[in-house]
Amino acid sequence: MPWFFNRLTNTDLPEFWEAYRQKMQQSYTYNTPIEKVRFVVFDTETTGLNVKKDHLLSIGAVSIQNFQLTVKDSFECFVQQSYQSNGESIRVHGILPVMKSHQMDEWQAVAAFTEFLSNGVLVGHHVGFDIGMVNKVLKTKIKQKLWNKKIDTLDMAIRLSPSADNNQRESLGLDHLCQKYQIPVSDRHTSAGDALITGILFMKLLARLQDRGIKTLGQLLHKPMF
């Protein structure tokens, strides 16, 4: 963690962030066995693909620990929107402006997700984008960002393919990998549905990496050549 993270006092932070700070002091080490780690697989639906200009529509997440995906330990919220969605965006993510259940504003949604996340290790497909969307809200409100370790299932898939390299990253989309690893696809382009699908993909990839001797979090985060 950066040195200034611990210098912030309770009066500088919202209550949820102070709780998050305390949890991150108990962050997993690189020697932690994989089965002891709580992985939080998450996805965001957004108004577009520009982190600077676009906004969150929803956040969905599931947790995995001891090689078990726990549906009960899951998270989903929809974000209130003040704009009019166009037809194309509705077809892609399936979220209508009139959906009212469980809606929060963007700040409330990010605060709730941070509480759910705690000190878990973040997992996602192209996870940097989703983290960037969450961090944009945190930076705007409290000039902070998430400090959790992170894993991209895209990078895991590349590690497992002898011929894979960075030139193939764009072709290894979630749909392609679900077909390759025989994962049924449902509720695509919803944050909760994509988080669940990505969680199943993560467990399949993790099992294969374990067969190659990956046993600790540090080994999983590292990217050795096989």
Spatial contact of 95 and 119, defined as CB atoms under 8 Å apart: no
- Buried/exposed 78-106: b ≥16 CB within 10 Å, e otherwise: bbebeeebeeebeeebbbeeeeeeeebeb
- Buried/exposed 138-158: b ≥16 CB within 10 Å, e otherwise: beeeeebebebbbbbbbbbbb
Choose between 222 and 223: higher pLDDT.
222
pLDDT per residue as tens digits for the range 48-65: 999 999 999 999 999 999
What integer best gives the mean pLDDT of the chain? 85
For residue 106, pLDDT over 50 is answered with yes
pTM for the predicted model, two decimal places: 0.85
Most confident residue range from 66-80, 98-112, 177-191: 66-80
Window from 52-66, 126-140, 167-181 with minimum mean pLDDT: 167-181
- Looking at residue 210, its pLDDT comes to 95
For residue 170, pLDDT over 80 is answered with no
